[in-house]
Structure 1
Amino acid sequence: MVGRDVRVAEPWNRFVAVLAGLTQPWSSGPVEGQVNRIKTIKRQMYGRANLDSSANES
Protein backbone atom coordinates (compact mmCIF):
# COMPACT_ATOMS: atom_id res chain seq x y z
CA MET A 1 0.00 0.00 0.00
CA VAL A 2 1.50 3.25 -1.05
CA GLY A 3 1.19 6.10 1.40
CA ARG A 4 -0.68 4.14 4.11
CA ASP A 5 0.61 2.25 7.06
CA VAL A 6 -0.34 -1.43 6.69
CA ARG A 7 -1.05 -1.73 10.43
CA VAL A 8 -3.71 0.95 10.08
CA ALA A 9 -5.18 -0.40 6.84
CA GLU A 10 -5.52 -4.04 7.97
CA PRO A 11 -8.29 -3.54 10.59
CA TRP A 12 -10.15 -1.19 8.25
CA ASN A 13 -10.04 -3.75 5.42
CA ARG A 14 -11.38 -6.42 7.75
CA PHE A 15 -14.16 -4.10 8.92
CA VAL A 16 -15.16 -3.28 5.34
CA ALA A 17 -15.18 -6.98 4.41
CA VAL A 18 -17.39 -7.91 7.39
CA LEU A 19 -19.72 -4.99 6.70
CA ALA A 20 -20.05 -6.01 3.05
CA GLY A 21 -20.72 -9.61 4.04
CA LEU A 22 -23.51 -8.58 6.39
CA THR A 23 -25.19 -6.07 4.11
CA GLN A 24 -25.06 -7.69 0.65
CA PRO A 25 -28.24 -9.42 -0.56
CA TRP A 26 -26.41 -12.45 -1.99
CA SER A 27 -24.52 -15.30 -0.40
CA SER A 28 -21.82 -17.77 -1.42
CA GLY A 29 -23.50 -20.45 0.72
CA PRO A 30 -24.74 -22.63 -2.18
CA VAL A 31 -21.29 -22.59 -3.80
CA GLU A 32 -19.59 -23.46 -0.51
CA GLY A 33 -22.01 -26.35 -0.08
CA GLN A 34 -21.07 -27.76 -3.47
CA VAL A 35 -17.36 -27.38 -2.71
CA ASN A 36 -17.83 -29.21 0.60
CA ARG A 37 -19.73 -32.02 -1.17
CA ILE A 38 -16.98 -32.42 -3.79
CA LYS A 39 -14.25 -32.47 -1.14
CA THR A 40 -16.15 -35.14 0.81
CA ILE A 41 -16.43 -37.30 -2.30
CA LYS A 42 -12.71 -36.90 -3.00
CA ARG A 43 -11.85 -37.87 0.58
CA GLN A 44 -13.97 -40.99 0.20
CA MET A 45 -12.21 -41.87 -3.05
CA TYR A 46 -8.77 -41.56 -1.46
CA GLY A 47 -9.78 -43.34 1.75
CA ARG A 48 -9.51 -40.31 4.03
CA ALA A 49 -13.19 -39.87 4.82
CA ASN A 50 -12.94 -41.40 8.30
CA LEU A 51 -13.64 -38.56 10.72
CA ASP A 52 -12.88 -40.67 13.80
CA SER A 53 -10.06 -38.93 15.68
CA SER A 54 -8.54 -42.21 16.86
CA ALA A 55 -7.97 -43.25 13.23
CA ASN A 56 -5.76 -40.18 12.68
CA GLU A 57 -3.34 -40.97 15.50
CA SER A 58 0.07 -42.37 14.63
Structure 2
Amino acid sequence: MADRKGDETKRPSNCGRRDGQWKPCPNLKEIDPRNMSGETYSCNVCGEHYYLDYEEMR
Protein backbone atom coordinates (compact mmCIF):
# COMPACT_ATOMS: atom_id res chain seq x y z
CA MET A 1 0.00 0.00 0.00
CA ALA A 2 1.58 3.26 -1.09
CA ASP A 3 1.47 6.43 0.95
CA ARG A 4 -0.35 9.34 -0.66
CA LYS A 5 -0.50 12.99 0.24
CA GLY A 6 -3.89 14.56 0.66
CA ASP A 7 -5.44 17.40 -1.30
CA GLU A 8 -3.94 20.56 0.25
CA THR A 9 -7.02 22.59 -0.75
CA LYS A 10 -9.28 20.38 1.41
CA ARG A 11 -6.94 20.16 4.41
CA PRO A 12 -8.33 22.02 7.46
CA SER A 13 -6.26 24.88 8.88
CA ASN A 14 -5.79 23.06 12.20
CA CYS A 15 -3.95 20.18 10.48
CA GLY A 16 -0.23 19.88 9.72
CA ARG A 17 2.98 21.66 10.63
CA ARG A 18 2.65 25.19 11.99
CA ASP A 19 5.13 27.28 13.94
CA GLY A 20 7.67 24.44 13.88
CA GLN A 21 5.31 22.04 15.65
CA TRP A 22 3.28 19.15 14.26
CA LYS A 23 -0.48 19.53 14.80
CA PRO A 24 -2.29 16.21 14.31
CA CYS A 25 -5.26 16.16 11.98
CA PRO A 26 -8.52 15.69 13.88
CA ASN A 27 -9.94 13.82 10.85
CA LEU A 28 -7.09 11.29 10.60
CA LYS A 29 -8.27 7.84 11.70
CA GLU A 30 -6.52 4.50 12.04
CA ILE A 31 -7.73 1.84 9.62
CA ASP A 32 -7.68 -1.84 10.68
CA PRO A 33 -6.08 -1.56 14.14
CA ARG A 34 -5.83 -5.39 14.18
CA ASN A 35 -2.89 -5.30 11.76
CA MET A 36 0.08 -6.55 13.82
CA SER A 37 2.81 -5.44 11.35
CA GLY A 38 2.00 -1.72 11.27
CA GLU A 39 -0.58 1.05 11.38
CA THR A 40 -2.55 2.51 8.48
CA TYR A 41 -4.05 6.00 8.75
CA SER A 42 -6.43 7.82 6.42
CA CYS A 43 -8.23 11.17 6.39
CA ASN A 44 -11.78 11.28 5.01
CA VAL A 45 -11.54 15.05 4.44
CA CYS A 46 -8.35 15.61 2.44
CA GLY A 47 -7.51 12.01 1.47
CA GLU A 48 -4.07 11.81 3.14
CA HIS A 49 -3.14 8.16 3.63
CA TYR A 50 -0.02 6.54 5.08
CA TYR A 51 1.33 3.35 6.64
CA LEU A 52 3.71 3.05 9.59
CA ASP A 53 5.69 -0.19 9.41
CA TYR A 54 6.75 -1.40 12.86
CA GLU A 55 9.93 -3.06 11.49
CA GLU A 56 11.06 0.17 9.81
CA MET A 57 10.40 2.13 13.00
CA ARG A 58 12.94 0.09 15.02
How does the TM-score come out when normalised to structure 2?
0.19
Higher relative contact order (CA 8 A, sep 6+): 2
Which structure carries more strand by proportion? 2
Of structures 1 and 2, the larger Rg is shown by 1
How does the TM-score come out when normalised to structure 1?
0.19
Which structure carries more helix by proportion? 1
